[in-house]
C-alpha cells in the first residue's frame, strides 16, 4: 500500500526512461544498461558457428583393388568392421558399397527434395557420411554401386515406366519375380542421375552403375518395352551411357559401369543391349563380370569354366584388349572423339570369390588376379554376395 502511494507521488518524468535502460524498484538492485541492437548482434556474431559439413574425396588409386559390401553390412558396424579391417591389413584399397540395390531402395537418407518425393529410402546406413569420412581417413577409395533398371521400387511408384507383358500390358517380371524399368524410359534416367549426385555429395568417390541393360531371363516371349519399342537395344543403352556422361561428367565423380563378362568376347549385344565398344567412351572404368562360374560349359572349349579361372579371365581380358585397340584405331581419324581416347586401363574386371561351379580356394581367386596382371591390367574387384572374402587370396599390406 505504501509502495502504491509512493508511486503516486513520483514525477511523471521518472517513467520516461532511456530506451537503453532498465529500472528495478526492488530494494538493493541497481539500474542496469541494456545492450543496443548493434551490441547484441556483435555478441551473437562472436559465438563461433558449427562448421558446415563438406564431403571429403579420395583420388582414384593407380591400381584399384576393391571388395564389395552390401548396404546392410555397411550399416552393421561389427560386420562391416571385419571387411574394413581386411582392407586395412591387405593389398585391398577400395570398397564398393551399395547405394541402391536390386530392391530399388536407397540405403541412406537423402537431402534432395526431388528424391524425397519418391519415398524410396530404407535407411540401412544411418551414419553414411561419418562412415565414408572414416574410410577416407584410412586412404580407402569408396565406390557407390547403383542398380539401375532392375528397380521394383520405382516400378511400384511408376508402373507406367516398367517393362510390360505384351499379352495384357501388366507389369512383366523375370524368373525371380523382379520387375524392371524399361531402359528407354528417360524419366528413370533422371532419377538415377539424381541418386548419383546425392551420393557424390555425401562423399562417394566413384559412381558404379549396374543392371544397365534389358532383362535377360523370364518369359521373353511375352515382353514389351513401351519406351524402347522399335529401337535397337544397344543404341538405347548407348544413349543412356551418353546421358550419364552429360549429366554427371562435370560433377567430379568418377563413372564406372558393370557389364556381362561376355561383352569382352561376343560381337553382338547379348540381347540385353550391352556392347563393350558402346560403353567404353562414356565411362572412366568398365567392370566386366568375368566370373568363371557364369560361363556356359564348352566356352572356348572349357568343359567346366569355373574350374579353370586363370584361363577364363586371361582369355576374356585378351579379347577385351583387342576390342579396345580396334575401337581406338577405327576412331583414329577423329582424334577428338571419345572413341579415340579409350584405353585398356579402363578395364577393371569383377572376379569371383564365391563357390559356384567349384569350391573356390585362395589359389583360384589369386589365379584370376594373376590372369588380369598377365593381360596387362593392374586393377580388379572381388565379388562375394555375403561379403565373406578369402583372406588368403589377398597379399599383406
User: How far apart are the C-alpha atoms of 240 and 334, rounded to whole Å?
Assistant: 23
Three cell numbers written together for 375: 593381360
Distances (CA, A) of 27 to 3, 31, 297: 12, 11, 100
User: How far apart are the C-alpha atoms of 142 and 130, rounded to whole Å?
Assistant: 13
Three cell numbers written together for 11: 514525477
CB–CB of 221/243 below 8 Å?
A: no
So what's the pLDDT on residue 223? 97
At 44, the pLDDT band (50, 70, 90 cuts) reads low
At 39, the pLDDT band (50, 70, 90 cuts) reads low
User: How far apart are the C-alpha atoms of 340 and 326, rounded to whole Å?
Assistant: 10
Chain segment 315-366, per-residue pLDDT in tens: 999 999 999 999 999 999 999 999 999 999 999 999 999 999 999 999 999 9
CA 231, 154, 180, 156 dihedral sign is negative
Q: Which residue, 282, 345, 289, is CA-closest to 96?
A: 289
At 71, the pLDDT band (50, 70, 90 cuts) reads very high
Give the whole-number percent of the chain exceeding pLDDT 90.
85
Q: Indicate if the pLDDT at residue 24 is higher than 60.
A: no
Q: Indicate if the pLDDT at residue 25 is higher than 80.
A: no
Tell me the pTM.
0.87
Q: Which residue, 395, 314, 316, 313, is CA-closest to 362?
A: 395
CATH of 65-389, one of 3.30.360.10, 3.20.20.80, 3.40.50.1110, 3.40.50.970: 3.20.20.80
CA 104, 105, 107, 109 dihedral sign is positive
**Angle between helical axes of 233-248 and 186-202 (0-180°, round to 10):** 40
So what's the pLDDT on residue 101? 97
Distances (CA, A) of 48 to 37, 44, 51, 52, 55: 19, 9, 9, 12, 21
> What residue spans in the chain does CATH classification 3.20.20.80 cover?
65-389
Among 51-55, 128-132, 309-313, 366-370, the minimum mean pLDDT is found in 51-55
At 397, the pLDDT band (50, 70, 90 cuts) reads confident
User: How far apart are the C-alpha atoms of 204 and 200, rounded to whole Å?
Assistant: 5
Chain segment 287-317, per-residue pLDDT in tens: 999 999 999 999 999 999 999 999 999 999 9
Three cell numbers written together for 15: 517513467
Q: Indicate if the pLDDT at residue 140 is higher than 70.
A: yes
CB–CB of 367/396 below 8 Å?
A: no
Amino acid at each position: 500500500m505504501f509502495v502504491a502511494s509512493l508511486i503516486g507521488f513520483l514525477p511523471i518524468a521518472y517513467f520516461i526512461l532511456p530506451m537503453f535502460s532498465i529500472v528495478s524498484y526492488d530494494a538493493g538492485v541497481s539500474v542496469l544498461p541494456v545492450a543496443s541492437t548493434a551490441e547484441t548482434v556483435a555478441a551473437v556474431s562472436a559465438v563461433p558457428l558449427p562448421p558446415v559439413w563438406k564431403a571429403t574425396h579420395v583420388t582414384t588409386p593407380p591400381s584399384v583393388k576393391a571388395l564389395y559390401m552390401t548396404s546392410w553390412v555397411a550399416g552393421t558396424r561389427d560386420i562391416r568392421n571385419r571387411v574394413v579391417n581386411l582392407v586395412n591389413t591387405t593389398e585391398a584399397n577400395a570398397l564398393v558399397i551399395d547405394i541402391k540395390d536390386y530392391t530399388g531402395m536407397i540405403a541412406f537418407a537423402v537431402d534432395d527434395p526431388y528424391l524425397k518425393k519418391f519415398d524410396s529410402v530404407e535407411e540401412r546406413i544411418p551414419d553414411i557420411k561419418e562412415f565414408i569420412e572414416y574410410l577416407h581417413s584410412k586412404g580407402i577409395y569408396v565406390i557407390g554401386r547403383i542398380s539401375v533398371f532392375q528397380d521394383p521400387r520405382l516400378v511400384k511408384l511408376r508402373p507406367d515406366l516398367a517393362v510390360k507383358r505384351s499379352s495384357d500390358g501388366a507389369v512383366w517380371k523375370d524368373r525371380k519375380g523382379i520387375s524392371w524399368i524399361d531402359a528407354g524410359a528417360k524419366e528413370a534416367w533422371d532419377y538415377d542421375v539424381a541418386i548419383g549426385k546425392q551420393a557424390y555429395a555425401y562423399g562417394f568417390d566413384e559412381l558404379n552403375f549396374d543392371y544397365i541393360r534389358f532383362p535377360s531371363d523370364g518369359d521373353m516371349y511375352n515382353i514389351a518395352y513401351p519406351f524402347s519399342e522399335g529401337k535397337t537395344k544397344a543404341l538405347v543403352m548407348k544413349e543412356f551411357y551418353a546421358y550419364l556422361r552429360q549429366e554427371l561428367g562435370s560433377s567430379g565423380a568418377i563413372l564406372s559401369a558393370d557389364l556381362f563378362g561376355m561383352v569382352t568376347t561376343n560381337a553382338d549385344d547379348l540381347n540385353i543391349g550391352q556392347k563393350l565398344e558402346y560403353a567404353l567412351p562414356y565411362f572412366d572404368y568398365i567392370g566386366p563380370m568375368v566370373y568363371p562360374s557364369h560361363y556356359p560349359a564348352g566356352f572356348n572349349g572349357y568343359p567346366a569354366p569355373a574350374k579353370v579361372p586363370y584361363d577364363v579371365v586371361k582369355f576374356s581380358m585378351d579379347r577385351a584388349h583387342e576390342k579396345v585397340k580396334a575401337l581406338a584405331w577405327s576412331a583414329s581419324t577423329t582424334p577428338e572423339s571419345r572413341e579415340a581416347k579409350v584405353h585398356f586401363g579402363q578395364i577393371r574386371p569383377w572376379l569371383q570369390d564365391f563357390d559356384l561351379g567349384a569350391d573356390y580356394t585362395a589359389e583360384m581367386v589369386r589365379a584370376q588376379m594373376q590372369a588380369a596382371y598377365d593381360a596387362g591390367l593392374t586393377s580388379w574387384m572381388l565379388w562375394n554376395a555375403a561379403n565373406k572374402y578369402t583372406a588368403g587370396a589377398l597379399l599383406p599390406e
